[in-house]
Structure 1
């Protein structure tokens, strides 16, 4: 179990000086060995905690979930003449559809607005290269509790 006062004290201490480096954790260069050690230790602990196998990569990305709304279309759509097919399940999937429109054609293959985003599709047919499902458990959003539908 995490001891909150101890964690807060350690964070406060590291903000002032991280492990006798003479620098705050906020001042350490992202190119330094110290920072590399932080990333390596974090990845190791994350792999243990979430049982992530060695044949999977762990990516530490800035920008949060909204950055992925543009990263996915840039990496999967740019320069290809293929549409992105989206399943509209609520607030975040509506936001996620804005960025790919700059990269190419976007098809909304299922839209839950008319039903107030109270359900998601069980099955639908589509021949597609790219289907994007946004499931962020915030605000008004519907999501699958079990398996994703058959496509």
Structure 2
């Protein structure tokens, strides 16, 4: 037997040994044999990769496409918010015509504000450098 014949005979024997014994049965079951079980459960993907939880846990390193996980039929507690705020149909716009505080000042407060930069009309005091707070005394007291 030549070298080529020995190689051909070895390939034929290896194919016979690797082939399933019942080719008709294997051909009918071939779509079912190669598929992994469906991945059911939550999937978490981050920079470290994708992690699958459920009846069978799995891991996929980063760079692979994100697997599609169908939504389960039972209600998820995060689907709808617990508090429902109905829209307001009785909207009243805010009041926009405020009176300026300058219009309510007395002549005493106007005089003190012009004379002392740190004057507070609510307390009738102004700040000094050395004595703290002083009461404003105007000619209109």
Which category of TM-score, normalised to the shorter sequence, fits these structures?
under 0.3
In the superposition, the TM-score normalised over structure 1's length comes to 0.18
- Structure number, greater radius of gyration: 2
In the superposition, the TM-score normalised over structure 2's length comes to 0.19
The structure with more helix, counted as a fraction of residues: 1
Could you say which structure has the greater relative contact order, defined with CA pairs below 8 angstroms and 6 or more residues apart?
1
